[in-house]
Amino acid sequence: AQKITQTQPGMFVQEKEAVTLDCTYDTSDQSYGLFWYKQPSSGEMIFLIYQGSYDEQNATEGRYSLNFQKARKSANLVISASQLGDSAMYFCAMRERYGGSYIPTFGRGTSLIVHP
């Protein structure tokens, strides 16, 4: 059984500062993928960044980077230079092999509020 844990129900950050959202995972698989999604108040789910378990480099996408520490089983999202529009729910997710398919499962999310 796998598990995604996001220990921060809510986070606050000042505009233009960096913020780290925590995610730890538990899996017995060697091959897996880790994702972060953003859900603004409008409700849509927006893909931010992906990290494969065999990727040696940390993934980066613009202002988003994923701090992947495999031995610690953590995949923290770092948002640099926060903007007001970054205020949203953020979900960490992991895809694991299940039978012949990969099943993405989600953590409970972190609510991020960016202050001006």
Applying CB under 8 A, the residues found at the interface with another protein are 33, 35, 37, 39, 43-45, 47, 50, 52, 89, 91, 93, 95, 98-106, 108-109
Q: Least separation, in Å, of the C-beta of 22 and another protein?
A: 17
Cα-based angle 66, 96, 43 (whole degrees, multiple of 5) = 60
Q: Least separation, in Å, of the C-beta of 20 and another protein?
A: 20
Q: Least separation, in Å, of the C-beta of 110 and another protein?
A: 10
Nearer to another protein, 41 or 116 (CB): 41
Please state the three-class secondary structure of 44-93 as a single string.
Answer: CCEEEEEEECCCCCCCEECCEEEEEECCCCEEEEEECCCCHHHCEEEEEE
Nearer to another protein, 13 or 92 (CB): 92
Cα-based angle 102, 68, 66 (whole degrees, multiple of 5) = 90
Tokens of residue 100, six digits? 């012949």
Q: Least separation, in Å, of the C-beta of 116 and another protein?
A: 24
